[in-house]
Amino acid sequence: MITVKERPMTSKFGMKEDKTIYSVDNFNLWYGEDQALNEICMDIPTNKVTAIIGPSGCGKSTFIKALNRMVELIPSVKMTGSIDYNEQNIFNPKYNVEELRTSVGMVFQKPNPFPKSIYENVVYGPKIHGVKKKSILDEVVEKSLRGAALWDEVKDRLHENAFGLSGGQQQRLCIARCLAIEPEVILMDEPTSALDPISTLKVEELVQTLKKDYSIVIVTHNMQQAARISDKTAFFLNGEVIEYNDTDQIFSNPADKRTEDYITGRFG
Amino acid sequence: MVAREQFQLDLKSIKDEIIQLAMLTEDALIKAVDALYNQDITLANQIIANDKLVDKRELDINNKAVLLIAKQQPVAKDLRRLIIALKITTDLERMGDHAKNIAEATIELGEHYLLTVHPAVKEMRDIAIEMVRVAINAIKYEDISVARKLSKMDDSMDELYETIIREMLEETATNPEKVQYVMQMAFSARYIERFADHITNIGESILFLVKGESFDLN
């Protein structure tokens, strides 16, 4: 059940000074009878990194899966409220979900390359969208792998199986695969939790570079990572946004005691 | 269960050590002014020797704070607790130095001068000691209302200092042979006034800890 509500004049956690890519208003989500998200109101800025933090089960992953409507693939999900992407409500029945998922790429916790060559992994999306010319595909591969800071490491073995790459390289390949379809937004669901510290730092640096061209929303359990790489941070607890503000403010002087307790490790 | 229990215990232990260090500087100032009034060179030498302990405690607390920052990567108020630990110990170490400076002035004057110490020096010492006690409470309870009191106390201190300097300059004009005495006494008053400024800095640190913003109480 999706109810489209009229947006209030001001949202609870409005960030009107930034250009907004997503505007979330009074968004609620239930898995069956269990409410996973409760009255979420957030504006997600364009060309910034927005981190979502909070303890397990607080609704972080559910929230970012709602941003590309992946969450509705789960049976028994009910939603109310609205999520506007570029000022269009993505839950409007007339909204083209395929178009949404082309504009909004996603990177998951565990690297999930296809059992194909590095090259084929990257061109998979463009091929589905009908790109056939080899010269264009070659260009896409180089641009995407460069964008994901992987080109120099793999340029001489593009036709080898992607499973031969290290975990960190596989994750950057997944980011390259995501870049190949030229999205506007990249959603990252704990993208470094399965990686070693060096690979983690490479992905973090990459995120910093990517924000020039993409808007990034990242769910992370690693609070130092959120502090290092994000511009905005939202703290979720029991399905609610407790605090959403500039990352500098959240990690130096949060307004809500629950945020302070969480980021200083007093619970969670 | 309280998460990061050991870290919380470590933070508390640093706070306790800071309070102990503050009490050491308080003791040093009490004794330094006593030595000045009583021309007690033995006590003055003892104060100078004890200052090494203050210096060592400062280094120990700093090392612990730096190690905790490196290992625990604190944020928000926990980070501010450790940042102010570094600042407060620096202030306390300087306060210890000022007590030592008064002891050195006592030695400089020697046991045989026949002049009495200006009574307001003791008054300044008493205000400074009261300020240390207020600061200790501010540290202990993270209490900003207490920290604000320090600003007012420091104003009284500054007024007394100005009075002493004015009166001593007048004395130099009429009794030029007292220059050495007046200089050392003026220095001593200056050391107590600086001692109090450092306590006011501690008040600023407590305000920064609680409010997350910088304040100027001086």
Domains and CATH numbers, chain A: 47-69+95-263 (3.40.50.300)
From chain A residues 234-263, the ones with a CB under 8 A of any chain B CB are 251-254, 260, 263
pLDDT at A268: 61
Q: Which among B209, A252, A216 has a CA at the least distance from the CA of A243? A: A252
- The CA distance from B80 to the nearest CA of chain A, in Å, is 8
Residue among B3, B79, B213 minimizing CB distance to A266? B3
Residue B79 belongs to some domain of the structure: yes
How far from the centroid of its chain's Cα atoms is residue B176's Cα? 33
Provide mean pLDDT across the span A125-147: 94
Q: Angle, nearest 10°, between helix axes B144-174 and B119-141?
A: 160
Q: Give the separation between CA A258 and CA B2, rounded to whole angstroms.
A: 14
Confidence class of residue A13 from pLDDT cuts 50, 70 and 90?
Answer: low
pLDDT at A9: 39
Residue B203 belongs to some domain of the structure: yes
pLDDT at A12: 46
ipTM passes above 0.85? no
Confidence class of residue A7 from pLDDT cuts 50, 70 and 90?
Answer: very low
Q: Is the pLDDT of residue A58 over 60?
A: yes
Check CB contact under 8 Å for B75 and A264: yes
Q: Which tens digit of pLDDT belongs to each residue from A230-268?
A: 999 999 999 999 999 999 999 999 999 999 999 998 876
Q: Give the separation between CA A147 and CA A206, rounded to whole angstroms.
A: 8
pLDDT at B183: 87
Report whether A235 contacts A255 (CB < 8 A): no
Residue range of the domain that includes B60 = 5-211
pLDDT at B2: 57
Q: Is the pLDDT of residue A169 over 80?
A: yes
Q: Is the pLDDT of residue A78 over 60?
A: yes
Check CB contact under 8 Å for B75 and A253: no
Task: Indicate the number of domains in chain B.
Answer: 1
pLDDT at B111: 74
Report whether A108 contacts A189 (CB < 8 A): yes
Residue B173 or A137, more confident: A137
CATH code for position B176: 1.20.58.220
Angle at A229 between CA B209 and CA A26, to 5 degrees: 85
Q: What is the mean pLDDT of chain B?
A: 92
Confidence class of residue A4 from pLDDT cuts 50, 70 and 90?
Answer: very low
Q: What is the mean pLDDT of chain A?
A: 91
pLDDT at B115: 66
Q: Which tens digit of pLDDT belongs to each residue from B28-50?
A: 999 999 999 999 999 999 999 99
Residue B218 belongs to some domain of the structure: no
